[in-house]
Amino acid sequence: MAESPLARLIGTWEFQPLVEGRSAGRGRKTFEWIEDDLFLLERSTAEWTDPGWVENAPRTTTAVIGFDDSTGEVVQLYADDRGVFRIYRGTLSDDEWMLQRAAPNFHQRFVGAFRDDGRTIDG
């Protein structure tokens, strides 16, 4: 069996959420294999510094991530400490990780760029 592209994410990452090009805070994500290396478990914590995000953004999140080898799509089942539950779909490349969801009257898109240090995602 070929190695999953999700293997790129294994480990602990620092991240910096950017809103309109400005830092909104800092956080840490940890990715680990579950179910005999078939899926990833993602856990994150964040500290928000942008006043517009402090009260409404998640502080902790949990997600299960899978990869569809027939389409190359990444699928994420997401939940956070606010009681939000969502499904995101996207792509993963050497340079970036993109997730999005289309819901009635509400479309979200997240793009994270991997930094050269190999353990930081901006986006």
Tens digits of pLDDT across the chain (123 residues)? 568 999 989 999 988 888 888 889 999 999 999 999 999 999 999 999 999 888 889 999 999 999 999 999 999 999 999 999 999 999 998 888 899 988 887 778 878 777 766 666 665
Q: How many domains does the chain have?
A: 1
- 45 falls within a domain: yes
Q: Which residues contact 65 (CB under 8 A, 6 or more apart)?
A: 6, 9, 31, 39, 40, 41, 42, 74, 75, 76, 77
Q: pLDDT averaged over the chain?
A: 88
Range of 26's domain?
A: 5-114
- 42 falls within a domain: yes
Exposure on the CB side of residue 111, measured as CA atoms within 13 A: 7
- 86 falls within a domain: yes
Q: Which residues contact 34 (CB under 8 A, 6 or more apart)?
A: 40, 41, 64
- 74 falls within a domain: yes
- 73 falls within a domain: yes
Partnered with residue 30 across adjacent β-strands are 12, 43
Degrees to nearest 5, angle at CA 84 with 80 and 16: 50
Question: For residue 121, which of 40, 17, 47, 50 has the smallest C-alpha distance?
Answer: 17
- 123 falls within a domain: no
- 102 falls within a domain: yes
- 121 falls within a domain: no
What pLDDT score was predicted for residue 93? 87
